[in-house]
Amino acid sequence: MFSLVICICYSIMDTVMSESVSQLRQELWLAYRALSRTLRALQRDAPMVRGSLYLLRRKCGKPTCRCARGQLHATWVLTRSEGGKSRLYPVAPDQRGALRPLAREYRRWQRTRALLIKESARLVTLTDQLADQRLQVWPPAPGDGPGTG
């Protein structure tokens, strides 16, 4: 009677395990498809410029200037980190229109690259989880071996 109970338990465990394996395989496949979409997005060959474009408002320091009364000077700048330092590049009005889509494309690339890192990690995690399902305990714990039950 006791061994029959054990057999039923094992067969339930097998069913649970195979359901989780097929679920993991399905998740792995979905993760793989998501990753391939991300890779395709990264294959774009649209040109880009590293940095962010923004409107800088500041005071020039002259006490008689309009900026001293709150009307700040506005300059478009491209900002980016270079060797750990933040750099600002002024952008002339006639350059702004051309630069904007280039900086936007860079931001888009950055976001997609971040996604690639996340999705790659997910793929590895799922692969490891599938491997865990295949792992057998060895050496067996004392009393678990054949002929001792």
The residues of the shown chain that bind Zn ion, judged by CB under 5 A, are 60, 65, 67
Q: Which is nearer to Zn ion, 75 or 112 (CB)?
A: 75
- Closest distance between Zn ion and the C-beta of residue 67, in Å? 3
- Closest distance between Zn ion and the C-beta of residue 96, in Å? 21
Q: Based on C-alpha coordinates, what's the Rg of the chain?
A: 30
Q: Which is nearer to Zn ion, 90 or 145 (CB)?
A: 90
- Cis ω on the peptide bond leading into residue 139 (within 30° of 0)? yes
- Rounded Cα distance between 15 and 28, Å, is 20
- Closest distance between Zn ion and the C-beta of residue 71, in Å? 8
Interaxial angle between packed helices 2-42 and 93-134, expressed in degrees from 0 to 180 and rounded to the nearest 10:
160
Q: Residue 122: which of 52, 38, 15 has the closest Cα? A: 38
- Closest distance between Zn ion and the C-beta of residue 35, in Å? 51
Q: Which is nearer to Zn ion, 25 or 57 (CB)?
A: 57
Q: Residue 57: which of 67, 49, 48 has the closest Cα? A: 67
Q: Which is nearer to Zn ion, 39 or 65 (CB)?
A: 65
